[in-house]
Amino acid sequence: MIFGIIGALPEEIAPVLAHYKDYETLEFGGNTFYKIKAGNKTAMLACSRIGKVHAALTASTMILHFGCEKIIFNGIAGAINPSYKVGDLLFASKLCQHDVDLTIFDYPYGFVPGSETFVKSDSTLNAIAKEVASELGFQIYEGIVASGDQFVNQKDKKQWIRETFQADAVEMEGASVAVVCENLKVPFCILRTISDSVNDEKLEEYNEEESGKRNIAFVIQMIEKI
């Protein structure tokens, strides 16, 4: 089996590379991909770069060029659910694009003709995520994630996204990966660590080192169970 692991930032894939140590570096489509052997499985890792276009390109490349059969996206998100705290972990039950606006044509926010407003993630991969969280002894939330090509830190914008999409977290890549995977019939899971809370307009400090250690343990254990 070949599966893909994507992070928007180098820091989000570096711990996986450090853990496995042995990997092949491949250049394709203006990006760098890392091929890792994990037992009888092959993992392709990549830093997509920030934003929906780069994330969609990376996911498409992994599936169409490298033959990935499952995709995991790991990164950070801002909370718009007031019960989420900095450092909390969640997986997206479904995702939407909050910056798609065709309301002038009487479509709802986030809707693109020929598709749906929300894309559901894979229930089997999500079940593995819940199982791994239980084994590692920490809580994982299940929520709706909204994506857009903008860093959202204004309280009124967060509130609008929350009310419009009933979303729990906001970020800049997940929904584009979801659209690619849905159309290419590839199961996917979007994992996000909360980096800033709903009440703060500025990015909160959180323990990046500790979150990184926890997340790498989480992703590696998911790899073993897939």
Q: Which of 11, 12, 122, 200 is flagged as catalytic? A: 12
**Torsion of the alpha carbons at 148, 151, 153 and 155, rounded to the nearest 10:** -30
Q: How far is the C-alpha of 141 from the C-alpha of 194, rounded, in Å?
A: 11
Does 99 participate in catalysis according to the annotation? no
Query: Please, are residues 53 and 176 in contact by the beta-carbon 8 Å criterion?
Result: yes
CB atoms within 10 A of CB 159: 12
Exposed, middle or buried: residue 44 (CB in 10 Å: 0-12, 13-18, 19+)? buried
Does 173 participate in catalysis according to the annotation? no
Q: How far is the C-alpha of 69 from the C-alpha of 2, rounded, in Å?
A: 6
CB atoms within 10 A of CB 33: 21
Exposed, middle or buried: residue 210 (CB in 10 Å: 0-12, 13-18, 19+)? exposed
Q: Which of 88, 173, 182, 196 is flagged as catalytic? A: 196
Q: Which positions are annotated as active-site residues?
A: 12, 196
